[in-house]
Structure 1
Amino acid sequence: MPNGIDNGLLRPFQLTTSDVADAFEGFIQSADEDVENFITGNTNDDGVLEMSASQSLELQQLMADQSIAAQTGTSTLKGVKDSIVAAARNI
């Protein structure tokens, strides 16, 4: 308990970029698997992707989810990194 401050369950200086990366890795991997499974499920024996218009929209939604997961992870990591750099400057 530094400086006599009790912050409950939070421990100061414990958040790392690895923590953030590990958390978002699962989201990104899940989104990747969803896209891969959809493409595999709609590919014929000749290796040609066959989809109806509604399936094409479904694939676009899955790919949008994939992009959101990756962008959110990236921006969160950047935010943590920027906070670490700012804190280091204040030392």
Structure 2
Amino acid sequence: MSSINKLSTDYISSTFESLINNTDTQVSDFIKQHTGKNNGGTFEVDPKGDLILSSSDSLTLQQKMAEQSIATQTATQVLKSVHDSIMASARNI
């Protein structure tokens, strides 16, 4: 039986793990790209600098963080639902 035919928390967890890691990376990379110093009107990336965002950058970051939250919440809800279904099935055996 292939793993696609097995409903388990491990299968669901591994499926959502890559999605969550992707959204985490997007947020982290965006913050790194916008952290720096304003040197005479020119932005220079510097990990020890400040987070510098324009209005549109701020909205983009909010969108990325919302996607991160949705991915995490969806994974948590699906895992809980699968766990509850497995436990209910086990009780009925």
Identity of aligned residues (%): 50
Unpaired segments ≥5 residues, structure 2: 37-45
With normalisation by structure 1, the TM-score equals 0.84
With normalisation by structure 2, the TM-score equals 0.82
Q: Which one has more relative contact order, counting CA pairs under 8 Å at least 6 apart?
A: 1
- Whose strand proportion is higher, 1 or 2? 2
Amino acid at match of 2:8: T
State the alpha-carbon separation in 1 of the partners of residues 57 and 17 from structure 2: 26
Superposed displacement of residue 47, structure 1: 2.0
Partner of 2:65: 63
Unpaired segments ≥5 residues, structure 1: 1-9
Question: After the TM superposition, which parts of structure 1 deviate over 3 Å for at least 4 consecutive aligned residues?
Answer: none
Superposed counterparts of 1:47-62, under 5 Å: 47-62=49-64
Q: Note the aligned Cα RMSD (angstroms).
A: 1.2
